Amino acid sequence: MKIKNKVALVTGAAKRIGHSVAIELASRGAQVAVHYRSSKVDGERTLAAIREAGSDGVLLQAELTSVSDIQRMFGEFDSHFGSLDILVNNASVFSAADPDHTTELIWNEQMDANARAPFFVAQQAALRMKEGKIVNLADVAGEVVWPSYFAYSVSKAALIAVNRGLAKALAPHIQVNAIAPGPILFPENYTEEQKQAAVDRTLLKRAGSPQDIVNAVMFLLENDYITGELIHVDGGRHIV
Ligand SMILES: NC(=O)c1ccc[n+]([C@@H]2O[C@H](COP(=O)([O-])OP(=O)(O)OC[C@H]3O[C@@H](n4cnc5c(N)ncnc54)[C@H](OP(=O)(O)O)[C@@H]3O)[C@@H](O)[C@H]2O)c1
């Protein structure tokens, strides 16, 4: 798929990796719907950067754990665009809790934001795609399951299943793929020790950059013969 003149929706695009993906899409000529939940000012910055990159877009607010709010967001999307070509399911929450400390609240928050929401966003997106691409931001935690991030890991495992299932269900006109990033941007509350431990668990002994993830997203969008795939962009973390 050529990205130029396409319409893209990136969830959680106000900051961090989603922000970088949105800007790259704009610099390649796509119009970008920038979703945010609570980071309105950052979302406005993303939109301003999209315009500086020579493209245009809109800002869409939604709490993606609510299916009715997802539907409302797409109603707003429809008032700006006639169709959708690209969805990047990027929004996510990342909460530490081992099985002993996994409350119902933590479990539901992780599953709802990281697995249920991407599914229902993709469901609405697919209704608006003639030919399209969906990229889901997963995690190697979904394959190996980290006990200290139990519900998070299970939610990403569910997302990897959603990825495969949607690849089958939406073929042949929509390709659905996932990326499993390694340590790219750490949570704000991470100590230096936690950051170093994450880096040490990679083969390449360093953190990646948002651009590493952006490059993988663009590769998946531009390649028309890959679907149901999960690409690790993790410095070799998944085989350690
Ligand atoms: N960062 C890494 O090193 C890393 C490593 C492995 C995997 N990943 C995956 O890569 C993706 C991007 O990572 P990131 O660290 O850039 O993400 P992030 O900063 O943790 O989250 C991105 C955005 O998700 C939005 N969000 C969270 N819960 C939401 C909800 N219920 N409804 C709507 N929006 C919600 C938030 O938007 P608001 O701020 O507007 O509320 C947040 O800014 C994620 O899927 C993550 O799991 C990242």
* Catalytic residue (choose from 36, 152, 190, 225): 152
Mind giving me the DSSP string for 171-201? TTTEEEEEEEE-SSS--TT--HHHHHHHHHT
CA–centroid distance, 74 to ligand 1, in Å, is 20
The predicted-structure confidence for 111-160, as pLDDT tens digits, reads as follows 999 999 999 999 999 999 999 999 999 999 999 999 999 999 999 999 99
Average pLDDT over residues 95-118: 98
Q: Give the number of the atom of ligand 1 that is nearest the alpha carbon of residue 137.
A: 45
Q: At what angle do helices 150-170 and 117-127 cross, to 10 degrees?
A: 20
Residue 205, number of CB atoms within 10 A of its CB? 10
Burial of 94 by CB count in 10 Å (0-12 exposed, 13-18 middle, 19+ buried)?
middle
The predicted-structure confidence for 65-89, as pLDDT tens digits, reads as follows 999 999 999 999 999 999 999 999 9
Q: Taking the complete model, does pTM exceed 0.95, yes or no? A: yes
What does the alpha-carbon distance between residue 153 and residue 107 come to, in Å, rounded to a whole number? 10
Find the length of the chain.
240
Token look-up 């409302």 returns: 72
Indicate the pLDDT class of residue 233, thresholds 50, 70 and 90.
Answer: very high
Task: Report how far Cα 98 is from the mean position of its chain's Cα atoms.
Answer: 24
Q: If you take atom 36 of ligand 1, which residue's CA is the nearest one?
A: 12
Active site residue 152: yes
So where are the chain's domains?
Answer: 7-239
Mind giving me the DSSP string for 57-126? EEEEE--TT-HHHHHHHHHHHHTT-S---EEEE-------B-GGG--HHHHHHHHIIIIIHHHHHHHHHH
CA–centroid distance, 49 to ligand 1, in Å, is 19
CA–centroid distance, 15 to ligand 1, in Å, is 8
Pocket of ligand 1 (CB under 6 A): 12, 14-18, 36-39, 63-65, 90-94, 113, 137, 139, 181, 183-185
Q: At what angle do helices 16-27 and 40-52 cross, to 10 degrees?
A: 20
CA–centroid distance, 156 to ligand 1, in Å, is 12
- 89: tokens are 């399911």
Under DSSP, the state recorded for 147 is T
Indicate the pLDDT class of residue 6, thresholds 50, 70 and 90.
Answer: very high
Q: If you take atom 23 of ligand 1, which residue's CA is the nearest one?
A: 12
Widest Cα–Cα separation across the chain: 50
Q: Give domain 7-239's CATH architecture.
A: 3-Layer(aba) Sandwich (3.40)
Q: Give the number of the atom of ligand 1 that is nearest the alpha carbon of residue 91.
A: 24
Under DSSP, the state recorded for 145 is -
